[in-house]
Structure 1
């Protein structure tokens, strides 16, 4: 067994030790942390991109389901926990993603660690982007398949690996459409071309794209017109959709197979009815109110514009996730603390979440932020980084 005290001390010395700080109040893009003199901070670490967690439509849907069904589902979907609202939600998700069917999971982590091992085994090959989320890497490991990682968004490297590694079964390519720590975007059309050329399945995790991209909020897959070419579209309800849980969308055969093989689905209690109802309200909302996305995109552009005008020259990426890479963990923690003292809450992301030497401040822009909030955060960041 690991020496717990020694390990904790080592992480503390390296500036990698994580700790929990309870939020005692949160409203409209602001929060108050426990033990922080009740100071209100601007929250730039939330993934509630469209500000739907506090939307009246989601709250009303959750309240109605809560009063009708109670707090929990009581069982797994394959026992007695299968409610009509789960099916309504899956139908709405399938429509959103341009697929024949969908299946919900308890979380994005449960989705990825359930789907990949259900599809792939020890005789199979998986090609995974090196910067994929930890849940994808864990799902790959759990499958027992041979996992080959390709350089981030490097299609030449992927093509080379696909040509060199031929198995007797259909390989799986796994990517994210918007990467959670870099905020960059996968070259989806080119990935589809490679998957078709080499006869692979393609799984795309749209956790940070659903609701934010696409004419109807269907993500990068919809925006790039690739809905029919992606075999597995994975996403979450807990980010742009303001609720909780996750999903996969695919053809009917794929969904039926996962109902029977995805262990994290089979052996888990169903999503609480209030959560499923809130998620359904969110899916309907993003389809019918494109202004939510347009407003967010304007705010993203405004924040980046202030940074560029102030002389920040590094790439700010194409999405609502804006990484300010500072290098070492201690530097990232120091800047985060200085920002907090100025009323801005942003998380310092350190190894092993990101590669060594790339610790960063991960700014996440949401619809909650006003132009005043965005100016304050950008200008304060620039001032601190100039010291």
Structure 2
């Protein structure tokens, strides 16, 4: 038998840091240790009852077989309607694909649009899986690194400096994971102008659009000239507390959707049949639980930020999502601080280098946890730091 080896394509990709740390926290819990995990981007709320009921009713009706690879018509219709009414996008169902999670939609986009030698502009710090998808496609990443001083919002001039003749795609994530930054409309307008002038595509990851505190969500695909060069990605995991349901979607020009569909039909086939019925219920049903969760996240943000500032951590107050990106350089690198807090305080955080090599002195802290857990975590962190 030949020596065990994986392909160069796979060996060049790192394991997801957020999932690795979350698994380590679970292992410590299984050993009986009282770990508070503030590392994973997962709402701790239950999925709303009417959404679960829709999945149960679908099961009872025998909807346990194959569906269309792009998703059931009812869900594609509901998504197109949502994007037209809420996001101002001129979308028809044929421009929508339903995927097993928003992450898989991003993977499909990368494999559909990118070739060897293409460049993708990432705004750092950036979610851990973007670069992995880019590498898998054979393309390379160009970073626009934002700063704490600017609230982790990019300057248009910074972005323009990184756009070149090989730029094929720019990835936007607003509200942003890991910083919670919400990009102002003028920044999005500048990106749209660059995309039109230099003829590249924009992937707009809008998974946190429902979790904004005081501002408004703007979809770049609604700007003039962006209809044919924007791929809007979203899903159900964050707004509806449906992480384990694995349900996402993308809206794009039909030729891009057809390319994504080839990948989907030859890999996962389609999202789970009865989960798609739950997606219809999520979009068409009562939205009060979405607002309730958003309000709870806002309260938690305020408790956590006040505690971190009291500890002396530098971090802007997030305007969206449920993360704080904090500078911990006075105590060591992010990796050192995260390791120390896990071992000595039993508090799990994610080192900043998971989101870009420029952020070695940062950690990401998720406040998708109860106020009681956040207060206890702050107490433990204070004792150690």
TM over 0.5: yes
Give ranges in structure 2 of 5+ residues lacking alignment. Answer: 7-13, 15-19, 147-153
Cα separation, 2, equivalents of 1:260 and 1:90: 17
Is residue 99 of structure 2 the alignment partner of residue 98 of structure 1?
no
Q: Which residue of 1 aligns with 2:56?
A: 63
Does structure 2 retain, via aligned residues, the 8 Å contact 1:21–1:34? Answer: no
- SS of 1:294's equivalent in the other structure is helix
What does the per-residue CA deviation read over 1:232-290, in whole Å, with 9 as the maximum and x for residues that have no partner? 2212322333222222134xxx1x22331114323222111332233333344674553
What does the per-residue CA deviation read over 1:121-159, in whole Å, with 9 as the maximum and x for residues that have no partner? 458654333433343324434555565433343432221
Give the C-alpha shift of residue 314 in structure 1.
0.5
Which residue of 241, 255, 279 corresponds with 1:257?
Answer: 255
Could you tell which deviates more after superposition, 356-365 or 324-333? 356-365
Give ranges in structure 1 of 5+ residues lacking alignment. Answer: 5-10, 12-16, 25-31
Does structure 2 retain, via aligned residues, the 8 Å contact 1:110–1:264? Answer: no
Give the C-alpha shift of residue 365 in structure 1.
1.7
- SS of 2:222's equivalent in the other structure is coil
- SS of 1:223's equivalent in the other structure is coil
* Cα RMSD for the two superposed structures: 3.8
Which residue of 50, 66, 77 corresponds with 2:69?
Answer: 77
Cα separation, 1, equivalents of 2:129 and 2:384: 34
- SS of 1:174's equivalent in the other structure is strand
Give the C-alpha shift of residue 191 in structure 1.
3.4
Change (3 A) 1:132 1:303: closer
Q: How does 1:188-337 map to 2 (within 5 A)?
A: 189-197=186-194, 199=196, 200-207=200-207, 209-213=208-212, 223-224=217-218, 226=220, 228-229=222-223, 231-243=230-242, 244-250=246-252, 254=253, 256-262=254-260, 263-267=262-266, 268-284=268-284, 287-288=287-288, 290-308=291-309, 310-318=310-318, 319=320, 320-326=322-328, 327-337=333-343
Cα separation, 1, equivalents of 2:213 and 2:232: 14
Does structure 2 retain, via aligned residues, the 8 Å contact 1:124–1:146? Answer: yes
Could you tell which deviates more after superposition, 320-329 or 140-149? 140-149
Is residue 175 of structure 2 the alignment partner of residue 175 of structure 1?
no
Cα separation, 1, equivalents of 2:141 and 2:363: 30
Does structure 2 retain, via aligned residues, the 8 Å contact 1:127–1:147? Answer: yes
Change (3 A) 1:156 1:2: farther
- SS of 1:136's equivalent in the other structure is helix
Change (3 A) 1:307 1:130: closer
- SS of 1:338's equivalent in the other structure is helix
Q: Which has the higher helix share?
A: 2
Change (3 A) 1:352 1:197: closer
Could you tell which deviates more after superposition, 112-121 or 355-364? 355-364
Change (3 A) 1:111 1:382: same
Is residue 103 of structure 2 the alignment partner of residue 109 of structure 1?
yes
Give the C-alpha shift of residue 324 in structure 1.
4.0
